[in-house]
Each structure stands twice: as C-alpha cells, then as structure tokens.
Amino acid sequence: MSLPADFLWGFATASFQIEGATKQDGRGPSIWDTFCEIEGKIAHGANGDVACDSYNRTAEDIKLLKELGAKCYRFSLSWSRIIPLGGRNDPINQKGLDHYVKFVDDLLEAGITPFITLYHWDAPDALDKRYGGLLNRTEFPLDFESYARVVFKAIPKCKNWITFNEPWCSSILAYSTGYFAPGHTSDRTKSPIGDSSREPWIVGHNLLVAHGRAVKVYREEFKPANGGQIGITLNGDYTYPWDPEDPEDVKAANRKIEFAISWFADPIYFGKYPDSMLEQLGDRLPTFTDEERALVQGSNDFYGMNHYTADYVKHKTGAAHEDDFLGNLETTSYDKNGNCIGPETQSFWLRPNPEGFRGLIVWLSKRYGYPPIYVTENGTSIKGENDLKPPEILNDEFRVKYFHDYAHALAKAVSEDGCDVKGYMAWSLMDNFEWAEGYETRFGCTYVDYEGGQTRTAKESGKQMKGLFDSLIKND
C-alpha cells in the first residue's frame, strides 16, 4: 500500500476565513462581509474583519508550512481585494493583486507548490447589488472570466488552478437554505428574498458556465506559454443504503451523490445533467445552450475532491417537495440495524467514516473514467474542542486518528483500486472563521489564539502529517 513518489500533500485554507484585513489596501466588501452584518446569521455575531490576520502574516504562514513539511498549499484569492467592485469594466486594485503575486513568489522560494482557488464563496458585494451576482446568467460568467484573466496574467508562476470551490454550497446553502451569503431562501422568517425551488439550480448552472469560460481563457491564452492545469473542486459525502436489501434505498444512495456531485461533474464530463435530476426538477433545471455546453464539457484537467463524511440514505415515497435538493430522500447517522456511521464531532453534518472516502474515490473514478484527482479538502472538527485551552487543545488525537485512517483509505484506493489520486490537502492549515459557525468550530492542524493576538501553535495533527505521508509515499 503506497502512494506515488511525486504525490503532493499539504494544507488548504480560504481567503475570507483567514485573511482578515477586510478594509486594508483597497479591498472592497464581499457578500460575506455584508452577510456578517445581519444580526443572527453568524454564531456570536462573529465576522472576518481580523480572522487569522493572514493578510499581514504571510511570512508566518509560510514558515509554518515549512515547519510542518508541506509540499503544497491550497489557498483562495479575494476577488474584491483584486477588483473591489468586481466587474470587467471596474478598476483593478494593484495593491491587492501584488499581495498575491508576492505570496506565490515566496511560496515557491520556500519549495511549496501553490494551488490557487479563484472563488471560495466570497463574491464582490458590488456585483450582488448591481445585477444579482451569481443569479445573473449573462453578466456573472463574463465578469468571472475577466477576473480570472487578470489573475492568470499576473501570476504565471502558479501552475495549479481551481475555478470554484464547492459550487453546491454556493448554490444550495446560499440560495436554498439561506445558511450562507447572500442568504436567499423561500423561508420568509430567514430572508425577505429568495426562491428555494428555482434559484439554486440557476446559480449552479451559471457557476458551471463561468467555470467553462475561465478554463477556455486559461487553455487558449495562458497554458500554451505557461503550462499548468485547471479544474473545479466539488464536494460530496459517500452514501450507504439505510437498508441494503431495499432496492429503493440502494437507488436513493446513488441519487444522493448525483444530486451533490454529478450535478456539476456530469455536465463537465458528459455534457448533460444527471437523469435523476432532470426527472425530479424538470424545467427548473436550466437547459444548456450549444455555446454553454461547448464551454463546460471537457473543462477539467483534474477533478478537485472535497470530502469529509458519509451518510446512510433512506428513500422517501411520494413526490419530492419543490424545495428538495437531496433527491427525495433522507440522510441518517444510523442504518436499519442500528449501526452508526461514525463518532460525533463539533459539526452536526460530519462523522468520520474512512471507508466512505475510499468508496467515493472509487465511485468517482469509475463514473468519470479514472481522471486525475486532487483531494483539495479533508479534515474534521472535534466535539468541544473550542472549550479547551493549551496545552490540552494541542493534543488533538481525534484529528490525528482521522487523518491516519483517511490517508490509509486513500492509499488503498490508489494501490488496490487503481485510482489516480495525485495529491491531498488537509483542511485546514489553521483554525479559522468557520462561516455561519463563526469561531466556535475549529478545523485547524494549528491552534490560533484569537484572544491572544492570532498567534499560531502547531497541534499534534499538524506535527504528525509529514510522518504519515512519508510512510505512505514511495521513495525513489
């Protein structure tokens, strides 16, 4: 059981979760800055104004990465730091752009391979106010393409690009449940605007087209001279039927993955939405124009995989509710016989199940023709971790075991199942702003003392990562 000698491992973060400096050096507000101002949306009224202060501590972050032995680092750019108003005719903020150019230079000098995510949920607020942001089928893809071109031109040294992080979350959590910015939902107790039955499917479609436009620009205008690769990162849980003897539960378990992952991956690999989604959603699922299909189909050089957990899945009878986004099914932590999927964590949606990680890698590989896969996020919170202080909080044995078990499951998918996994990035390099959960939930391999000046101290999970992957990677 081993991983190839050129296997890359490291850590991942996102701009809004770690950077802070929300008003520094010309940065404009993002939809998350605006969302954080709405009372009751974020735990304890938290925001990203300071976060981990990484905008001002890039040297510290690189030193930390080196100390932990990371070979690569996945981070995202703040669109509104680069183009404060977001649009293709709006001014570029050179200070913001220069910040990322220097950061990539410094990473490369330290021997760390950068993976840049163009969009990790923090659209410029100006675009949301100007034309509805992600809901606009015409304007949003063009503005994203323009932003991508600016960045590709400025940072030719980066050879690994991700267009969107988890478009499922940008669609469902932001435009169906209202849990994420900008908070649209049909539930009028949560938001005065939104249509959960239609908006998420429109947003998902527009994200796919925007992805396709950015990839076309990269391949035609930059890849010939710079080389490199570009893809999208999709999230999804593995699924087991609640009753494996019930064919309807078996079908529902597969359908759950289709509604989460294949919603985006099928158009990219096959040029169409999954039949299960077309059947349930009908005309609420937008239709690709010929131009859009040409942009989207074939637009992945690699598959970016974010994965954390698994579920048991039970089918529902009768017609699906118009706001349903799972595929007319329910998920549960226990199967028919009372078996539990995995232990509790601080996150209600996350229970460790390493076998499911291997299972999903195999599922994806079989469905999409064994593409190269980069695991761009994988990690866990720990129940009650935020109540601990050093030195107890540094001894995160639960997370150590999670990474050990998941890394070994990945290695089996490669060495025994023939899957082509090229890299692994643990979520996260450090504790950070965990979106609607604020600073209550920690995912870091490094402890961040928010009250003590954002100082960083490596946890046991961070310290053990190098030894874990050294034991799994072939030595040439």
How many CB atoms lie under 10 A from the CB of residue 433? 25
**CA proximity to 70, closest of 122, 107, 40:** 107
Spatial distance between the Cα atoms of 296 and 247, rounded to a whole number of angstroms: 33
Active-site hit among 377, 385, 434, 437: 377
CB 50 within 8 A of CB 16: no
Amino acid at 119: Y
Catalytic status, residue 166:
yes
**CA proximity to 410, closest of 426, 433, 391, 389:** 426
Q: In the beta sheet, which residues pair with residue 221?
A: none
How many alpha carbons lie under 13 Å from residue 404 in its C-beta half-sphere? 11
**CA proximity to 85, closest of 170, 143, 14, 155:** 143
Instruction: For residue 124, give the DSSP letter.
Output: B
Catalytic status, residue 377:
yes
Helix (H) or strand (E) holding 468: helix 460-470
Spatial distance between the Cα atoms of 440 and 5, rounded to a whole number of angstroms: 38
DSSP 300-319: -SSEEEE---EEEEEE--SP
Q: Which residues contact 245 (CB under 8 A, 6 or more apart)?
A: none
Spatial distance between the Cα atoms of 126 and 426, rounded to a whole number of angstroms: 32
CB 89 within 8 A of CB 49: no
End-to-end CA distance of the chain: 15
Q: Which residues contact 351 (CB under 8 A, 6 or more apart)?
A: 309, 310, 333, 340, 341, 342, 343, 344, 345
Q: Name the percent of the chain in helix, strand, coil, to the closest 5.
A: 45, 15, 40
| Residue in this structure with the two tokens 């074939």, named with its chain if needed | 298
Active-site hit among 166, 199, 434, 437: 166
**CA proximity to 400, closest of 415, 382, 423:** 382
Residue 301 has phi, psi (to 5 degrees) of -85, -25
Q: Known catalytic residues?
A: 166, 377
